[in-house]
Amino acid sequence: MSDFLPQLIQQLFNGLSLGAIYALIAIGYTMVYGIIGMINFAHGDIYMIGAYIGLVTLSAIGTQSGLPIWAIIGLMLVVAVFVTGVYGLVVEQVAYKPVRQSPRLVALISAIGMSIFLQNWVALGQGARDMAVPSLLPGAINFHMGNFEVFIPYTRVLIIAVTVVLMIALTMYIKHSRMGRASRACAQDMHMANLLGIDTNKVISFTFVLGAVLAAVGGVLIALAVGKLNPFIGFLAGIKAFTAAVLGGIGSIPGAMLGGVILGVAETFAAAYISSEYKDIVAFGLLVTILMFRPSGLLGKPEVEKV
């Protein structure tokens, strides 16, 4: 019993860092759904591409370049954000814009097709094998609590710190910027926003780009933390992030953040205290349980069907 509290703190921290990644990806799902009522199932692969762009940037710079570690990580994030933002725009223009007025099943098939295309595009260019990511922050914060040592890697600290900063910045941007107000207007009533002079096509494109940018940050950070990646990491991460978005309330940005954290903590606790084989069962079981009592998610609101 004396080791219970430190072990709990260790797993809680691990869960928060994992949940932060889920939250970064889930925001892209929830923003796109909130505005156009569609699910971007290629979004997980955008996250995967962000991780690869970060690795390619790191390879181009080199770990022995003499630059400070913070500068190298900053360049990885900047390049990944820029290139992945372009990918997000292309996905919207190619896979969604032509079928925006079609039945939702058509858009769903288009998104799945884009997801398969992106997976194979990266696999052909970079290979389908696992690729190692050099460790730029190998240290950790260690402290003893009783007979147990709490181990907090610097990469996990970085994930949580960057995610908190991005969440605050996104909240302020959505609330106070002109594009943020336009996005909220489109989410409330797309047709009326169009009549009032808002360029709805621009808002939709901006939403895809913003979601891609956040996913790219998550991809680079998790690649540094885990130390390896492959072209198929986006599928499972995308499914988990979509689950987090539904759990928190699809269409709600705070809900996506909360859902990501809850899902990450639930998975980590299940792996630590039950078995790693049961972590997905616990995560999806939690989703089903919450939706039984809150069909719209924790922070979601009942939605009137858009016609």
Contact (CB, 8 A) for 229 and 55: yes
Contact (CB, 8 A) for 96 and 107: yes
Q: Give one word for 156, left, alpha or beta, with left for phi > 0 and alpha for psi -120 to 50.
A: alpha
**Does the residue 134 lie in any domain?**
yes
Contact (CB, 8 A) for 289 and 248: no
Place of tokens 């430190």: 6
**Does the residue 2 lie in any domain?**
no
Nearest to 73 by CA among 167, 164, 158, 139: 158
Specify the number of domains making up the chain: 1
* Tokens at 57, concatenated: 């940037």
Place of tokens 């460790």: 135
**Does the residue 275 lie in any domain?**
yes
CA distance 258 to 260: 5
In this structure, what is the dihedral angle of CA atoms 171, 176, 177, 179, given to the nearest 10 degrees?
70
**Does the residue 302 lie in any domain?**
no
- For each of the chain's 307 residues, which pLDDT tens digit applies? 456 777 888 888 889 999 999 999 999 899 988 888 888 888 999 999 999 999 999 999 987 777 888 999 999 999 999 999 999 999 999 998 998 888 888 888 999 999 999 999 999 988 889 898 888 888 888 877 767 778 888 998 999 999 999 999 998 998 889 999 999 899 888 888 888 889 999 999 999 999 999 999 999 999 999 888 999 999 888 889 998 999 998 888 889 999 999 999 999 999 888 888 888 888 888 888 888 888 888 887 765 554 4
Nearest to 199 by CA among 181, 213, 176: 181
**Does the residue 1 lie in any domain?**
no
Domain that holds residue 110: 7-293
**Does the residue 301 lie in any domain?**
no
**Does the residue 36 lie in any domain?**
yes
Q: What is the pTM of this model?
A: 0.89
73: domain CATH number?
1.10.3470
**Does the residue 269 lie in any domain?**
yes
